[in-house]
Amino acid sequence: MWNILVLTILLSICGYYSIESQQKFDTTERNSALSIAVGMATYRQAVVNYYSQNPDAPLNTGASAATLSASGVFPSWANSASLCSQWNNFIDGNKMIYIYQQQPPAFNITSNIVALSQNSVLAGQAIDSGGQLTLYAPADISTAPPSTLSQSSGIPEAADYGKHDPIVLPAAAGIPVGSPVWLATPNG
């Protein structure tokens, strides 16, 4: 009888610590994903600043880490070397800027960048769609009919964009499948 009681108590304690450990791991993963997404947002804004200040910069290429660091576009508190080692950029012939990672992160940050972008259809993940690399944007509801612009916030909702073709990512950028991608334009 005592053996069963002791065994039950020990199994309960092991179960408690196992659940507590998993909860701490989940919290750490969420914090890490948010930290990576904030780094992406910081890098994205620096690249937007660079192309806004340099409208004659070459197109169909990306600004190098050295160029970005030397141009003073990063906030003073940002570690530009670390951000440039994590993120890449590409600007196409239409002056659309693509921010992405050469290797997808250990944590899925798509929901974090979509939240940071205020549910923009320009934030998501690179996916292979029938042999073509496209942007999967969770906020994008391409089949929804256009609605009225949200009067309370002034921020368009996904349905406000209406039906449209998928956003094709440029092959020249070398964006890998699964990488988080966040688009921008100079001055925007």
Ranges under pLDDT 50 in the chain = 21-22, 24-28, 142-156
**Helices marked H in 54-157:** 65-70, 80-86, 110-116
pLDDT of residue 60: 93
pLDDT of residue 7: 57
Tens of pLDDT, residue by residue over 36-53, are 999 999 999 999 999 999
Map out the domains of the chain as residue ranges.
2-184
CA atoms of 94 and 100, how far apart (whole Å): 18
Phi, psi of 143 (to 5 degrees): -95, 0
CA atoms of 152 and 146, how far apart (whole Å): 17
**pTM to 2 decimal places:** 0.73
Phi, psi of 24 (to 5 degrees): -65, -40
Does domain 2-184 correspond to CATH entry 3.30.450.360? yes
pLDDT of residue 152: 45
